[in-house]
């Protein structure tokens, strides 16, 4: 609260006339961030296209607001209307596909948690770069001698093959897209063979 007050040029105690504390402020910030990305009232056809749009919308939010992924609690979820609208939109994409309400919610949470889990790295990378003054690419280059020694010592043959790939890159966007595709492919298999 002190930092927010300093950034605004006001006394810290004056903020408490507007919010009850840090948790209330964070909830308002999260709600405002999700409010920047309302999902369309006319969704694309098909559950997969809808879930992809929802996941990519959230990914874009986390890119714009690196702090957002860590501000959201999965065990004590904030009751934020704009975030709940994203949940409702995803649940409507799954509604009518033969899944019970709990399974639909678990599918939504699996996708939501996947996107959020990868996006947590945005803030971590920004903090690491600020603390060290070097980019993630520069950090990886500095690790090259240690990586080479580990890869040539023998106990990691599959990792050695991976490290030798000329196009290998730990690009977060590529990782996000690959994982999302696998999650939705798995859901497609589940939907094609419903369980009793």
**CA gap 196, 167 in Å, rounded:** 44
| Cα distance between residue 93 and residue 162, in whole Å | 37
| pTM strictly above 0.95 | no
Question: Which token pair is 59?
Answer: 């990914």
Query: Do the domain assignments include residue 161?
Result: no
Q: Give the C-alpha separation, 29 to 71, whole Å.
A: 9
Per-residue pLDDT at 117:
94
The helix (run of H) or strand (run of E) holding residue 185 is: helix 172-192
Say how many domains are in the chain. 1
Is 27 inside any structural domain? Answer: yes
> Is residue 156 situated within a structural domain?
no
In a domain, 144, yes or no: no
CATH of the domain at 69: 1.10.357.10
Query: Which 3 state secondary structure label does DSSP give 71?
Result: helix
What pLDDT, on the 0 to 100 scale, is given for residue 165? Answer: 78
- Tens digit of pLDDT for each residue in 131-142? 888 887 788 788
Provide the residue range defining the domain that includes 68.
Answer: 22-133+166-192
Who contacts 71 (Cβ-Cβ below 8 Å, separation ≥6)? Answer: 26, 29, 30
Per residue in 7-65, pLDDT (tens digit) is 778 777 776 777 677 788 888 889 999 999 899 999 999 999 999 999 999 999 999 99
Higher pLDDT, 195 or 27: 27
Q: Residue 56, exposed/middle/buried by CB under 10 A (0-12, 13-18, 19+)?
A: middle
Q: How many CA atoms lie within 13 A of 12 on its CB side?
A: 5
Rounded CA Rg of the chain = 21
pLDDT bin (cut points 50, 70, 90) of residue 127 is confident
pLDDT value of residue 140: 76
CA distance 93 to 65: 26
Structure tokens at 105: 């919610």
Residue 142 pLDDT? 83
Cα end-to-end span (Å), the chain: 52
Q: Is residue 58 part of a domain?
A: yes
- Asked, for residue 114, whether it belongs to a domain, the answer is yes
- Contact, 90 vs 50, CB < 8 A? yes
User: How many CB atoms lie under 10 A from the CB of residue 54?
Assistant: 22
Going by pLDDT thresholds of 50, 70 and 90, the confidence category of residue 108 is very high
Residue 91 in any domain: the answer is yes
Rounded Cα distance, 56 and 188, in Å: 18
Distance CA 14, CA 106 (A): 41
Looking at the domain assignment, is residue 15 inside a domain? Answer: no
């Amino acid at each position: 609260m002190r930092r927010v007050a300093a950034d605004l040029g006001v006394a810290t105690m004056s903020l408490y006339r507007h919010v009850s504390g840090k948790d209330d402020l964070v909830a308002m910030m999260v709600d405002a961030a999700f409010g920047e990305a309302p999902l369309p009232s006319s969704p694309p056809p098909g559950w997969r296209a809808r879930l992809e749009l929802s996941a990519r919308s959230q990914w874009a939010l986390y890119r714009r607001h690196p702090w957002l992924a860590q501000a959201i609690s999965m065990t004590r979820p904030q009751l934020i209307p704009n975030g709940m609208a994203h949940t409702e939109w995803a649940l409507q994409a799954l509604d009518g596909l033969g899944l019970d309400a709990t399974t639909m919610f678990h599918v939504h949470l699996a996708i939501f948690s996947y996107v959020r889990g990868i996006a947590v790295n945005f803030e971590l990378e920004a903090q690491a770069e600020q603390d060290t003054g070097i980019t993630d690419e520069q950090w990886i280059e500095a690790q090259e001698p240690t990586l080479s020694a580990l890869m040539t010592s023998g106990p990691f043959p599959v990792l050695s093959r991976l490290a030798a790939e000329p196009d290998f890159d730990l690009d977060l966007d590529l990782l996000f897209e690959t994982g999302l595709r696998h999650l939705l492919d798995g859901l497609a298999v589940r939907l094609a063979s419903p369980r009793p």
